[in-house]
Amino acid sequence: MRISKTIPTLLLSGSLIGAAAQAMNSAEETGPAQPPKKPVMFDLTSIDKTANPCTDFYQYACGNWMKNNPIPATESRWGSFNTLADTNNYLLWKDLDAASKHPSSPLQTKYGSYYAACMDVDQADKLGARAIASQLAMVDGLDSTKMVAQLDSRYEAKYGQGFLVSVRVGQDQKDATQQILQTGQGGLTLPDRDYYLNQDARSVRLREQYVAHVTAMFSLLGDTPDRAAAEAAGVLKVETALAQGSMPRVEMRNPANVYHMMTVAEVQQLSPDFDWHVLLDGSGAGQVRTLNVSFPGFVRAVNEQLESEPLPVLKSYLRWQVLHRAAPYLSKDFVDRNFDFFAATLTGQKEQQPRWKRCTRLTDAALGEAVGQDWVKQNFPPAAKDNMEKLVAALEKALGEDIRTLPWMSDATKAEAEKKLAAFRDKIGYPAHWRDYSKLEVSRTDFITDLSHNAVFERDRNLTKLGKPVDESEWGMTPPTVNAYYNPPQNDINFPAGILQPPFYDVTKDPAINFGGIGVVIGHEMTHGFDDQGANYGPTGNVKYNADGSMGSWFTPDDLTKFKQRTQCLADEYSQFPVADGQNLNGRLTLGENAADNGGLRIAFRALQETLAPKGITNLDAQTDVRDGYTPAQRFFISFGQVWCENRTEQAARNQAKTDPHSSGKWRTDGSVQNFDEFGKAFGCKVGQPMMPEKSCRVW
């Protein structure tokens, strides 16, 4: 799981699936050979008893799991989250497959047709690049850099996404009840700006491989070798310039860095070679006078490209954007090339996933609240929702007590923190109101068109929110998703039905095991409201800004200093943790998630203590269970550790360290327990051992 705290940045951003597009064609597989094995919660066979839990708890909790669960050839990472996602996808596939053959409602007809179109390999191979001929023709018709805004506007209206600049509606940081127009940054194909800018040998080699890939893809379009090579060089040149103007991920974590309200005239002055009036008119937002330019540096970089690059170079870049977006869904030659670079080279994945898996995932992404309605009826009974609500209540009570007893925080700041906690909204399982898909057109025979229709549908659905109050009932994840998130502007915690199953939650298990699993997940999301980003969002979801427009905080100045010292401890600590040869975690990038992991563990343990106390169990280290020989405290920590059991390719580990705000499974486990003295007590560790260091970090 990537427990995540913001939308759309998903827990293990992006969500469990990386940014690189998965290739679409493989063997003609129409369904699973057999159902996947269901994951087990608190699996004693996963424990490596040859390991010392005080030296490396992750190896102790997960050692045998890692040995017995090698990474499948179709994956770059394999862990507890994947095993549950596999189960959920299988159940979802059964619904989609049935709906594609024998729909019994208009909604089933719609999502069944979307899935069927995705599965039509013969049609994809028959069309080849002709499937995107009209899109490429639109780019080929560009005859001046001054017309790029017009092209962007027309292309987005027809295909749902633009090229260099787009506008979308989002929540206003200063008035969280309202929605405003915003523009962000993008335009890069590689996972992060650093892939273009780093000069180490590995990065240089990867860029060479990228250019070779782009060259090969242009050749598949029919370009001559010389032209394809020249176009690929132009693509890298443009994307490198855009990368130089892009904001680093660590800086994006500060809300003040991405909030720059400007008038349209000011934005136009910032990028005089891009006609903003044309773009806004085409988006139906021509009446807007101000918008949030999240990344002014990127807007300037776009203008510099329009001003300096020859038209043929810009057209090569735009052609590449069309081709790259469609490549996973075209004929086998395009799909295989796309897989070779974006999956095999970038992540170490050896084989493409079966087509039914990819089409199931794509249908869930497009129509998740359509198929999700049927999925929850079968897989998430009301009793499960009721039990989850009780667990959330127990965790909120424990967090409140944690806040009240913090030794470093003043009463004034505690009062503000308690206000924020009291204002939490809990969203469990699935939305209260399902999304209306009646305006989404779906063809059973043309998946490229279905993708465009879906993109246009989502674009239009977003833009109609402009100037309207925020709909706080909306969800950012579909019901079967194995993930969870905290949304700072709305101050809500969200737990899809998909994650409320083993290895996270099992109603047949005792409280120690469930609090170590889903309890820590709940505590993690709650703690996001109080991490280094959450410290800027008050109970209403607004970011606090001072009179001069600079960002403030609901902490008193003295408490804020103490808070920053404590979070710096975490940042420094995690920056020392290796994930691959010569590659450590980025403690600043992962700070929010690490703080949430550490805080969630403490809060869940406190909630377990309070749950067992009325039953006469006041010492969680005192009595072992005759079934497994572990105390309640030990079962709690083992359950927590096994949530993060995983194996990962070296390429995927490197990519994660550069792009993912979450730490790897090993350090989500060991990094948290070594900062919690209750773990050392539970396993009889001595001060000075790795899992019980003399100095540790604590925020919450």
Q: What ranges do the domains of the chain cover?
A: 157-354, 386-430+475-667
Write the DSSP symbol of residue 437.
-
Residue 346 and residue 649 in contact, taking contact as beta carbons nearer than 8 Å:
no
Exposure class string for 231-241: b at 16+ Cβ within 10 A, else e: bbebbbebbbb
pLDDT at site 690: 97
pLDDT tens, position by position, 26-77: 434 688 988 999 899 999 999 999 999 999 999 999 999 999 999 999 999 9
Give the per-residue pLDDT at 434.
96
Q: 496: which strand partners?
A: 429
Q: Residue 12's pLDDT is what?
A: 27
Please, how many CA atoms are within 13 Å of residue 448, restricted to the half-sphere of its CB? 24
Low-confidence residues in the chain, pLDDT < 50: 1-28
Q: According to the 3-state scheme, what is the secondary structure of 215-263?
A: HHHHHHCCCCHHHHHHHHHHHHHHHHHHHHCCCCHHHHCCHHHHCCEEE
The whole-angstrom separation of Cα 372 and Cα 358 is 17
Give residues with Cβ within 8 angstroms of 576, minimum separation 6.
Answer: 584, 587
- Give which of 91, 37, 84 is closest to 374, Cα–Cα: 91
CB 274 within 8 A of CB 303: yes
What pLDDT was estimated at residue 10?
28
Pairing label, strands 290-293, 261-263 = antiparallel
CB 239 within 8 A of CB 190: yes
Q: Which residues pair with 485 in a beta bridge?
A: 4, 494
Closest CA to 12 of 380, 356, 481: 481
CA-CA distance, 172 to 180, in Å (whole number)?
A: 6
Of 594, 578, 601, 665, which Cα lies nearest the Cα of 59? 665
C-alpha angle 136-137-140 in degrees, rounded to nearest 5: 90
Specify the pTM. Answer: 0.93
**Which CATH homologous superfamily contains domain 386-430+475-667?**
Collagenase (Catalytic Domain) (3.40.390.10)
Report how far residue 207's alpha carbon sits from residue 219's, in angstroms, rounded to the nearest whole number: 18
d(CA 330, CA 344) in angstroms, rounded, equals 18
**DSSP code of 177?**
T
Helix H or strand E segment including 487: strand 484-487
Long-range contacts of residues 28-36, Cβ cutoff 8 Å, at least 24 apart: 28/121, 28/355, 29/354, 29/355, 29/356, 30/97, 30/119, 30/355, 30/356, 31/93, 31/97, 31/356, 32/90, 32/93, 32/354, 32/356, 35/87, 35/90, 36/83, 36/86, 36/87, 36/90
Residue 611: count of CB within 10 angstroms of its CB: 20
Question: Which residues touch 243 (CB under 8 Å, ≥6 apart)?
Answer: 188, 193, 195, 196, 197
Residues in the chain: 700
Instruction: Please report the pLDDT score of residue 545 as a whole number.
Output: 75
Catalytic amino acids?
Answer: 525, 597
Kindly compute the dihedral angle of the four CA atoms of residues 413, 417, 423, 427, in this order, to the nearest 10 degrees. Answer: 160
The amino acid occupying position 603 is I
Please tell me the distance from the alpha carbon of residue 613 to that of residue 605, in angstroms, as a whole number. Answer: 12
What is the β-pairing status of strands 179-183 and 168-171?
A: antiparallel
Element counts in the chain: helices (H) and strands (E): 28, 12
- Strand 646-648 and strand 77-79: pairing? antiparallel
**CATH code reported for the domain at 157-354:** 1.10.1380.10
The residues that bridge with 169 in the sheet, in sequence order, are 181
Longest dimension (CA), the chain: 79
For the chain, the C-alpha Rg in angstroms (whole number) is 25
Contact 415, 400 (CB under 8 A): no
Residue type, 7: I
- The tokens describing 225, both together, are 């070798």
